[in-house]
Structure 1
Amino acid sequence: MSVSERWIPQHSERILNSLINHLFPALGSKDITKLTTRDLFLPLRKIEAKGQHETASRLKQRITAIMRYAVQEDMIAQNSANDTL
């Protein structure tokens, strides 16, 4: 059973919306293999500058998990999100 199968639909929607609203606009169509720590760092800093520290923290957790999965699936060699904060 995958994680998304254990999540209630509202939680899955909340996760995806946070990525759509905060991360995807900053990354554009950049290839995951080309993402740098800075690419992942800047969206978090923008959110923090607005005083939304909880949102930034949750987004960092999500980004780190996504990048960890990419490492595990051999899509990328290292997790650039580990050095974002």
Structure 2
Amino acid sequence: MRVRPIELSESEREQLQLIVKKGSDWRERAQTILMLSNGQTVIAVAAQQGVKPEAIGLNSLPNQPRSGAPSKLTDAHRSQLKE
């Protein structure tokens, strides 16, 4: 899979490095961009991150639905809050 190199400004690179250091939810995405901008291939990045190459790219950027605790608000509560 051939991907066009990512060109980052120094400011963009610094912002991504801060995200990576903080370990936020976006850490892996920021790390992916940094690796690709350094000229690594999609296959190499995917192998390092333990994902399939299909997980690297624009189609994988939107957050996927996450499971979580069920809502504590009922429909009745929501309608009261709207009023």
The structure whose RCO (Cα within 8 Å, separation 6+) is larger is 1
Q: TM-score, normalised by structure 1?
A: 0.31
Larger radius of gyration: 2
Structure number having the greater helix percentage: 1
Q: TM-score, normalised by structure 2?
A: 0.31
